[in-house]
Amino acid sequence: MTERSGSTYTPSPERIARETARRRAARRSTYSAAISTLVVSLILIVAVTSAPGWPRVQTSFFSWEYAVESLPLIVQGLWLNLRVLMVCSVIIMGLGLLLALARTSKSPVLFPLRALAAGYTDLFRGLPLLLVILLLGLGVPGLRLQGVPNDVVFLGALALILTYTAYVAEVLRAGIESVHPTQRMAARALGLSQIQTLRHVILPQAIRRVIPPLLNDLVSLQKDSGLISVLGAMDAIKAAQIVTAKSFNFTPYVVAGVLFVLLTIPLTRVTDAIAARLERERTIGGAQ
C-alpha cells in the first residue's frame, strides 16, 4: 500500500524494506565482483612476472621508450584504418541490403538474381578474408585492366567490401524474414504498394531487430581493416612492423593492439547496451 498526504507521496514500509534489501544485495554483488576481480588479477600478475623469461619479455614487448617512439607513426597509420572503415561500412551496408532484398524476393522472374545473390554469399562467406585480399592485391595488378586502380589501399578495401557484404547481407536477410508475413499482408490491404510496404513496414522492423549483429560485424570490420597491411598499405600494423624492423623490439605491435582495442571497446559496449535494451523491450512487450 501507499500513503498519500495531500500531494506528498509516502512509500509503504514494505516497499521501503524491499528497496533497502535490493540496494544491500546490489552492494554485496559489487563488492564481491570487485574483490574476485582483484584477486584474479593479482594471481595473473604474480604468475606472469615470476616466470623465468619475464625480464626478457618485458624488455621486448613492454618498453616505454619504444612505445613513445612508435606512437606517432602508428597513430598516423591508424587514421588510414579509420578511413577505410568509414568508407567500407557505408558501401557494405548498401550492397548488403541490395543482396538481402534480392535473396528475399519471391517473383519467379527474379530467380536468376536470387541465384546470383546466393552464389555470391556462399562464395565470399567461404573464402578466408586474407585469401581474398591476396588474390585481389596480387591478381588485379597483373591483369593490367584499363581504368582499374592498382592502389593497394583500394584493392584491400575492395576485398573487405566483397567479403563483409556477404555477411551483412545474410544478417539483413534474416531480419527481413523474421518479420511476420501478416505485416506485409496488412500493409498491402491498406493500399500500400510493394515498395512502400518494404520501405515503411518491413525494413524498419527488420533493421531494428538485427542492429546488434550488424554492430558486431562493424567491430570485426574495424579489426580486419588491419589486414590490408599485407599488401603494403601504411596502416597501423604496417607502421608497427616498420618500427619493429628498425629496433628489433616488438613493443610497437603491442601499441597498435592497444589502440585497436581502445577503438573497439566503445562500439562493443554500445552493441551490448542496444542488445540489452531490445531484450528488455521484447520481454516487457511479451508480458503485456
Give φ, ψ of 240 to 5 degrees.
-65, -35
- Please return the burial class of 188, using the count of CB atoms within 10 Å of its CB with bins 0-12, 13-18 and 19+: middle
pLDDT band (50, 70, 90) for residue 284: low
Q: What local confidence, expressed as pLDDT, does residue 166 receive?
A: 95
Please choose, from the candidates 97, 230, 223, 221, the residue with its C-alpha nearest in 3D space to the C-alpha of residue 155. Answer: 230
pLDDT over 80 (residue 223): yes
Above 90 in pLDDT, residue 140? no
Query: What pLDDT is stored for residue 108 in this prediction?
Result: 83
Q: What percent of the chain has a predicted confidence (pLDDT) above 70?
A: 94
Q: What is the pLDDT of residue 282?
A: 65
pLDDT digits (tens, 9 = 90+) for 66-85: 999 999 999 999 999 999 99
Distance (Å, whole) CA 129 – CA 267: 22
Model confidence band, residue 5 (pLDDT cutoffs 50, 70, 90): very low
Predicted TM-score (pTM) of this structure: 0.79
Q: What is the pLDDT of residues 236-270, one digit of tens each?
A: 999 999 999 888 899 999 999 999 988 888 877 88
Of 139, 188, 194, nearest to 162 by C-alpha is 139
Q: What's the fold here for domain 80-230?
A: MetI-like fold (1.10.3720)
Q: Are 127 and 165 in contact (CB under 8 A)?
A: no
Q: Which amino acid is at 159?
A: A
pLDDT of res. 8: 67
Pairwise CA distance, residues 116 & 94, whole Å? 17
Q: What is the pLDDT of residue 1?
A: 43
Alpha helices in the chain (DSSP H): 13-49, 54-61, 64-104, 111-126, 129-143, 152-178, 181-189, 194-197, 203-209, 211-224, 236-247, 251-287
Q: Where are the domains of the chain?
A: 1-35, 80-230
C-alpha of 82 from chain center: 13
**Among the ranges given (39-53, 118-132, 135-149), the one the predictor scored with the smallest mean pLDDT:** 135-149
